[in-house]
Each structure stands twice: as structure tokens, then as C-alpha cells.
Amino acid sequence: MQKHWKTRLIHSDARIPEGFRSLNSPVYRASTTVFPDVAAVTDEWDVYEVGYTYGLYGTPTVLELAARICELEDGYRTLITPGGQSAISLINLAFLKAGDHVLVPESVYGPNRSFANRVLRKFGVEVAYYKPLIGLDVEAHIRPNTKLIWCESPGSITMEVQEVPAITAAAHAHNVLVVLDNTWSAGVLFDALAHGVNITMQALTKYVGGHSDLLLGSVTVKDPKLWEQLGATQQVVGTAASPDDCSLALRGLKTMAVRLRAIEESAKKIALWLCERPEIERVLHPALESCPGHQFWARDFSGSSGVFSIVFRPEFSKPQVQAFVNTLELFKIGYSWGGVTSLAVAYDFADWTSRPAYGHRIVRLNIGLEETSDLVADLENALSTMVQAGRAR
């Protein structure tokens, strides 16, 4: 067919050499995916069953990331979402309905709690919280309408390591599903599905992305029935992940083992150094005995990552703790973690009855890839500024 140049802009006959082979996965961006004929047209979502039908259900770049996470977590299928929080909300929407009851640990990531309080309750789901270290005793909280138990291990900021195998045993005895936020272990330092978890999710934003420049999440399941429920929900919720971000995450995966190893080593050295400091009451690092649930970390995990918290001694005021964080130079102040830059964020649990009584004295650290001795020097300088700030008052 003869084509006007304007048509050629869209339908070109230009050809390039074939046979290109690179070590990197191409970025396939698409909303439309083309069908060969009318009979093939379908809006089914399960790409593994019907092939590619629409960009929302994943392009090959998105599916490659999904397949790689699934392989690492030894699941049946993985779904990629536009962020860790959208993975959390998708799981809730897929597995809960009005009249159901969900159990959430008090140590859960803040926006997970907010979704339960603000959205699930609005749609008639009963939400109850449980103490993260409860283990088998979670059984006493299970009701006839309990459908889902959330776990997050270690918990956000207060770092309680949960006895996940005991929780899954109790849950399964009552036909209740267990979902774990496995972000801290990057999906590799704790084998969630082998420990009885039914649904495991991660914010790939953290260690998989690894460079603080993308937002992505994953949900992995072992049971094909759960996959059906999850995929059908994603289709109507419409949480499509960006292939460009997935390509960055695929790149992040290649270096994740060496980053994690370096971060683990540095974080442990820094945590041990902080244990010896007179200003610090407690170091909440899962690999140390001072962390609640350390014994479960020692039994169930194959390593530790780089996020942990410190609790200052009671004599330190809130302005002093703030002075500590403000004085840090290498540690930047900012949310999220798992990147190469060290971070520090001060929290205040003074108004919380359901969290340990650390009040304003808790600071969460994310250890990055800077030289450990420089990070220690930065912390040492900030600690002495904090002490001086107290004297000056």
C-alpha cells in the first residue's frame, strides 16, 4: 500500500537489523496491546492464561519483574503494583468484604493502619489490633468472621520481630489467611511462604529498587485460588505499575545481594557501637538481643537489613532528640528507606497507648552504603551536640 509520509509516521516500513542481544531487559511501554483478529479480542486479565490483552495487566517488562520476585519468594504468581501501599490496599480489597473481621498488629506500617481505620471500617469490615509479640495467643482474637491476619516483621519503627510460624499455625487452624509485609527482609532474608504465610507483599520501593528513585510493590501467593481473587481485583482497581519503574527495579535486583550484604555488615557495626553509648537506652535491631522478638529473628531469618531504631535514655528531652537528628550531616531526614543514602527520622509515640512507651525518644535509622566509620563519626558528633543542647537549657 502506498502511504503518505504522515501515515508513515505511524505505520512505518523502516527495518533495523535483527538479532540484538543485550544483558538488559527492554522496557515495553503500552496501554494498547494488539490482537491478531476480531475473534482474539478479550478483556481477560490473566496474561498467563490468555496472553497479553491490555497494558493494565502488565507488559513483558512488568511480568519479568513479577516472575523474578516470584522466583525469589518461591511463590505461584506475583503481581506488581505501583507502590508498597497500593499492594497493601489491593490485598485488603481482594480478600475482605463487609461483615468480615481483620486482625492487624499494633506495630504495622502507619498507612496500613490508616487504610484499615479509614477505608475498611467505612466499608463494614471489623478491624481489631493485636500485640505483635503475641504468637500463638493470636488464636484468642480469632472470631468466626475473621478472614485475614496481617503480620509485619519486624514492625515499623518499634521493630518487634513476630513469631510468624505460630501465627500462621493458629490462623490456619481456623481457616484464616495470613498476609505478611516482608519489606524489611527484601523478600529474601525471611522465607515467608515456607513459614506458612499465604500472601506476602513487599514495597519494592526499598531494597529491590535500592536507590530511592522509584515506587513499586509486589504481592506473591502460593495458591492459584488466591491469584484469581487478586488479579480480578487488580483489574477493577486499576493499579498498573510503570514499565519504566519495573525496568529500574530489574536493574536493582542485580546488585541487591551485594548491597544487602554491605548494608547488613555496616548496620550491625553501627548498632553495636550505639549499644555502648551512654545516651542510648536501647537499640532495636533484630539481630541484637535488645530487640523484642530477637529470638524469632535468630531462628527464622537468614540475615538482617539496614533499618533499625534507637531509644534515648529518659533524661533526653524532645528538643534534644530533634537536635540530634538535625545535627546529622550524612544521615538525611526523609521517609522511605532501603536506598544507598543513610536516613534518620524521629518519631513521637507519646500519645499512643498501643505502642511501647518510648515517647519522643525513638529515632529510626536507615543505613546506606557510606563508609561505616564516617557514619559513626556523624552519629558521635550529633550525640555530643544533643548532650550540649541539654546543658545549655
CA distances from 180 to 50, 51, 82, 203 (A): 30, 30, 18, 12
Q: Is 61 in the site for ligand PLP (CB under 6 A)?
A: no
Q: Is 81 in the site for ligand PLP (CB under 6 A)?
A: no
Q: Which of 83, 105, 306, 339 binds ligand PLP (CB under 6 A)?
A: 83
Is cis: bond before 278, omega within 30 of 0? no
**What would the x/- binding string for ligand PLP be over residues 324 to 343, using CB under 6 A?**
------------x-------
49: exposed, middle or buried (Cβ count in 10 Å: 0-12, 13-18, 19+): exposed
Q: Which of 57, 109, 129, 331 binds ligand PLP (CB under 6 A)?
A: 109
CB of 334 to ligand PLP, least distance (A): 11
Q: Which of 156, 185, 247, 366 binds ligand PLP (CB under 6 A)?
A: 156
Pairing of strands 343-347, 280-284: unpaired
CB of 85 to ligand PLP, least distance (A): 3
- Nearest residue (CB) to ligand PLP, 138 versus 215: 215
In DSSP notation, 31-83 reads S----SSGGG------HHHH----GGG--HHHHHHHHHHHHHHT-SEEEEESS
**192 in Cβ contact with 159 (< 8 Å):** no
Q: Is 215 in the site for ligand PLP (CB under 6 A)?
A: yes
**332 in Cβ contact with 84 (< 8 Å):** no
* Chain centre to alpha carbon of residue 265: 21
Return the number of other C-beta atoms located less than 10 Å from residue 131's C-beta.
15
Which residue has the CB atom at the shortest distance from ligand PLP?
Answer: 84
What is the helix (H) or strand (E) element at residue 346, kind and residue range?
A: strand 343-347
Q: Which of 109, 67, 71, 72 is nearest to 91 (CA)?
A: 109
Task: Specify the stretch interacting with ligand PLP by CB under 6 A; choose among 27-35, 81-89, 286-294, 358-366.
Answer: 81-89
Q: Is 89 in the site for ligand PLP (CB under 6 A)?
A: no
Q: Which of 91, 203, 208, 323 binds ligand PLP (CB under 6 A)?
A: 203
- Nearest residue (CB) to ligand PLP, 61 versus 218: 218
Q: Is 183 in the site for ligand PLP (CB under 6 A)?
A: yes
CB of 32 to ligand PLP, least distance (A): 27
Q: Which residues bind ligand PLP (CB under 6 A)?
A: 83-85, 109, 152, 156, 181, 183, 203, 205, 215, 217, 336
